[in-house]
């Protein structure tokens, strides 16, 4: 392609852009236009020739390809395009392998296989996923999709951090005066009980819209109960863990204070088995 042809192609693309901006054509019509496809094809041919001529050019073109894949992945997640999402992940596989990220490469390949299996065996589920429902959203607008791990960090983890801030503030103030925490949150109650909090009260619907002295609750649970309440609360269900089937938080759970990782694992296993009256020698 000579200079004159390039200027002509760019002029044609500018016209297409103006038509798209004025809503005279749709995005799908733009993508399938002859001018855009021709320019894309010629650019790819030029890239291929540069790769052969120079190793430096090959490296930079490979880097640009990686950037394009990343942009496509972000676009797919934000807009909810499952097809673009799967294509982006498929294009990532060679780079994962070349970089030595074997776990990423293996998990991505398994993920693609599972999605294809869903498309074949559960067409109704795949149809729902294809209509922008494979990604999480907080708003109905187009660019509002969000990654699952990002949503967990922004929603669940943020709420956890705010609870810790409330409890730490109450503990600091309680050193000088009486403090009443007004909140309907079991997680905060558990944190207040776990920490030895003098001069601290809690007003909550948990107590029938009454105010309770945290010290009196600690007295009821006893020293051992206060020490294991975080473990008990997390194991029997809180905001970030699922509750156990058919078991309430009043179940008694006991553990060792100075245990290593294996001992803690064994204690947790025995605790779960005992909750369901299982064989002490059984494992999960």
Q: Tell me the per-residue pLDDT of 181-230, one tens digit each, with 9 for 90 and over.
A: 887 777 888 888 888 667 888 888 777 777 888 888 888 888 877 887 87
Examine the domain organization and report whether 95 and 160 are in the same domain.
Answer: no
Spatial neighbors of 76 by CB under 8 A, at least 6 apart, are 82, 83, 84, 85, 87, 88
Task: Give the residue from 83, 105, 136 where a domain finishes.
Answer: 136
Examine the domain organization and report whether 27 and 126 are in the same domain.
Answer: yes
Q: Where are the alpha helices (DSSP H) in the chain?
A: 3-21, 27-31, 34-53, 55-79, 82-98, 102-121, 123-128, 148-151, 157-174, 186-194, 214-227, 229-235, 261-275
Task: Give the residue from 106, 136, 166 where a domain finishes.
Answer: 136
Examine the domain organization and report whether 121 and 163 are in the same domain.
Answer: no
State how many domains the chain has. 2
Q: Is 265 a member of any domain?
A: no
- With contact defined as beta carbons under 8 Å apart, do 89 and 111 qualify? yes
Examine the domain organization and report whether 103 and 203 are in the same domain.
Answer: no
Q: What is the pLDDT along the chain (284 residues), one digit of tens a residue?
A: 566 677 777 788 888 888 888 888 887 788 888 888 888 888 888 889 999 999 999 999 999 999 999 999 999 988 888 999 999 999 999 999 998 888 999 999 999 999 999 999 999 999 988 887 888 887 777 788 888 877 776 666 666 667 777 788 888 888 888 888 887 777 888 888 888 667 888 888 777 777 888 888 888 888 877 887 877 777 666 655 555 555 554 444 444 445 566 665 676 676 666 656 666 666 55
- With contact defined as beta carbons under 8 Å apart, do 243 and 236 qualify? yes
The whole domain housing 160 covers 151-253
Examine the domain organization and report whether 168 and 128 are in the same domain.
Answer: no
Q: Is 142 a member of any domain?
A: no
Examine the domain organization and report whether 35 and 122 are in the same domain.
Answer: yes
Examine the domain organization and report whether 125 and 29 are in the same domain.
Answer: yes
Q: Is 276 a member of any domain?
A: no
Examine the domain organization and report whether 132 and 157 are in the same domain.
Answer: no
């Amino acid at each position: 392609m000579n200079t004159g042809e390039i200027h002509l192609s760019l002029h044609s693309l500018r016209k297409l852009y103006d038509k798209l901006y004025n809503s005279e054509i749709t995005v799908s019509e733009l993508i399938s236009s002859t001018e855009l496809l021709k320019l894309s094809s010629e650019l790819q041919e030029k890239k291929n020739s540069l790769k052969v001529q120079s190793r430096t050019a090959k490296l930079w073109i490979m880097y640009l390809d990686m950037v394009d894949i990343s942009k496509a992945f972000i676009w797919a997640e934000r807009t909810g395009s499952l097809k673009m999402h799967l294509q982006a992940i498929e294009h990532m596989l060679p780079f994962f392998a070349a970089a030595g990220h074997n776990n990423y490469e293996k998990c991505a390949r398994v993920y693609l296989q599972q999605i294809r299996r869903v498309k074949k065996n559960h067409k109704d589920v795949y149809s729902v996923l294809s209509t922008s429902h494979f990604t999480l959203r907080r708003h109905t607008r187009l660019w509002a999709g969000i990654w699952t791990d990002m949503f967990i960090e922004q929603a669940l983890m943020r709420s956890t951090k705010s609870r810790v801030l409330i409890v730490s503030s109450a503990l600091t103030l309680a050193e000088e005066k009486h403090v009443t925490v007004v909140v309907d949150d079991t997680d905060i109650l558990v944190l207040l009980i776990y920490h030895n909090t003098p001069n601290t009260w809690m007003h909550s619907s948990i107590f029938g819209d009454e105010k309770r002295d945290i010290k009196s609750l600690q007295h009821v649970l006893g020293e051992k109960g206060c020490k294991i309440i975080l473990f008990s609360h997390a194991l029997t269900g809180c905001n970030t863990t699922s509750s156990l089937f058919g078991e309430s938080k009043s179940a008694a759970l006991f553990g060792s204070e100075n245990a290593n990782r294996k001992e803690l694992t064994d204690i947790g296993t025995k605790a779960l088995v005992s909750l369901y009256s299982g064989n002490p020698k059984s494992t999960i």
